[in-house]
Amino acid sequence: MAELPLDFQDRSEMIEWKSLQDEAIKASKKAYAPYSNFPVGAAGFVSDGRIVSGCNIENASYGLTLCAECSMISNLLMSGGGRLVAVVCVDGKGELLSPCGRCRQLLFEHGSSLGVPTVDKHSTGGVGDKITLPLAPLVAACGAAVPQLSGRGLGHTGGTLDKMESIPGWQASLSNEQMLKVLKDVGAVICAAGAGLAPADKKLYALRDVTGTVPAIPLIASSIMSKKIAEGTSALVLDVKTGSGAFMSDPEKAKELASVMVELGKRAGVNTRALVTAMDVPLGLTAGNALEVRESIEVLAGGGPGDVVELTLILAREMLDAAKVNGKDPEVALKDGSAMDRWKKMVRAQGGDPDAPLPTAKEKLVITAERGGTISSMDALKVGISAWRLGAGRARQGQAVQSGAGIEIHAKPGEKIVSGSALFTLHSDDVERFERASKALEGAVSISENGEVAERLPLVITKF
């Protein structure tokens, strides 16, 4: 990636985040918020070393007249101007907050730059969806910075952080300062979102749950985009999955969701585009945590399953185009080792050892074909549920997962097999999990004796 401006590097190392937060807390004490009862303070570190601050002020005519960020910018301009290097916002209790979309744009206009365009990718999730792992370092190797705030899995869909945490020593939780440093030094960071990122979303989700509106597309779109917009990236590519293994299994509903999210992003000033992609069959040949990391490393080494490589390259090109970066061809970056180098740097920067052996499950069970023929179809949902029952996923938030648990897929639709051929290898630390996991796979694979293959969704169905 391009080097950051020296003045930005020098100033960013001078930032004392605790002092900046303390100044924001002081400012919040001056806030006047009798209508919202939500005082906010903001403090910014200026490129010349000054700290400016502001608070929200309300009046009876307009309930949210002057926000803390706008007040801070006013004080910046009145004190001689300058470029902001860092900003901290807090509520009346001193808890960190993310600026709203309007204020992010204002701060962007008065802020220092990383020196390279930033672009993020969000997937709605599926079975075997490990694309973020090779994608982030690949795009960074081609010249764009990737601040990837990811989540954990719930149910049959795996979480990016669960996969990454199977790497010995790797840390998901970073402070703002640590995240900025990794992004500056490496060009890509995959980490957990802070508690202050779109804090109202959890409360709104709980309300949707009790009112039966969880499936409402406008509310799903708002929930996803509130967090992605709050991250502050200048460009965003959405990978909206559809098919049996996706939460939005109906392709038409998936298209509607993609369209709404793109519109929300554009209205917030983020260059947003979306691809609706197939999740009727598992992506790649593994579903699990360490298993998917291993497969991702194969892709970065220039190999890996064809569908994973193809989708990784498609999304990489979309991200680079959205960020207006005309750098190295992503396919070249996979072949010449530069993407792999960036991966290793990214893992090391977050405390991980990219050369350490990945965890393996204590027990294995091979599922074989009862007859020969051609695999006609494979149900992604059944494979995902089986991996979940093996310990690769969780039934509730906060539940631990097994790093080595999951499924290896030995043959996919269109491939010929003989009776007794291995279809799946189940991995788990608990042998008692195999019975329920095997039951979930009943009917997951259809075998045709005449070579017919069921119609599948194209890998990329449409783009917005």
Q: State the catalytic residue, choosing from 181, 227, 348, 456.
A: 227
Q: In the annotation, is 427 catalytic?
A: no
In the structure encoding, which two tokens stand for residue 328, read together? 């190295």
Please state, in angstroms and rounded to a whole number, the distance separating the CA atoms of residues 341 and 300.
Answer: 9
Helices 176-186 and 6-14: crossing angle in degrees, nearest 10, is 150
How far is CA 263 from each of CA 50, 270, 420, rounded to the nearest angstrom?
A: 38, 10, 51
Q: In the annotation, is 364 catalytic?
A: no
In a 13 Å sphere around the CA of 322, the CA atoms on its Cβ side amount to: 30
Contacts of 204 (CB under 8 A, 6+ apart): 219, 222, 223
Q: Which residue has the tokens 């369209």?
A: 259
Q: In the annotation, is 110 catalytic?
A: no
Q: State the catalytic residue, choosing from 22, 185, 201, 430.
A: 201
Q: Which residue has the tokens 């185009």?
A: 321
Please state, in angstroms and rounded to a whole number, the distance separating the CA atoms of residues 82 and 123.
Answer: 37
Backbone dihedral angles phi then psi of residue 441, each to the nearest 5 degrees: -85, -5
Q: In the annotation, is 244 catalytic?
A: no
Phi/psi class of residue 294: alpha, beta or left (left: φ > 0; alpha: ψ in -120 to 50)?
alpha
Please state, in angstroms and rounded to a whole number, the distance separating the CA atoms of residues 290 and 310.
Answer: 21
Q: State the catalytic residue, choosing from 110, 121, 122, 345.
A: 122
Q: State the catalytic residue, choosing from 222, 223, 249, 446.
A: 223
Identity of residue 300 = L
How big is the chain by its Cα radius of gyration, in Å?
24
Q: State the catalytic residue, choosing from 208, 317, 364, 463.
A: 208
Q: In the annotation, is 208 catalytic?
A: yes
- The residues with which 416 forms a beta bridge, in sequence order, are 374
Contacts of 205 (CB under 8 A, 6+ apart): 214, 223
Which residues carry out catalysis?
Answer: 122, 201, 208, 223, 227
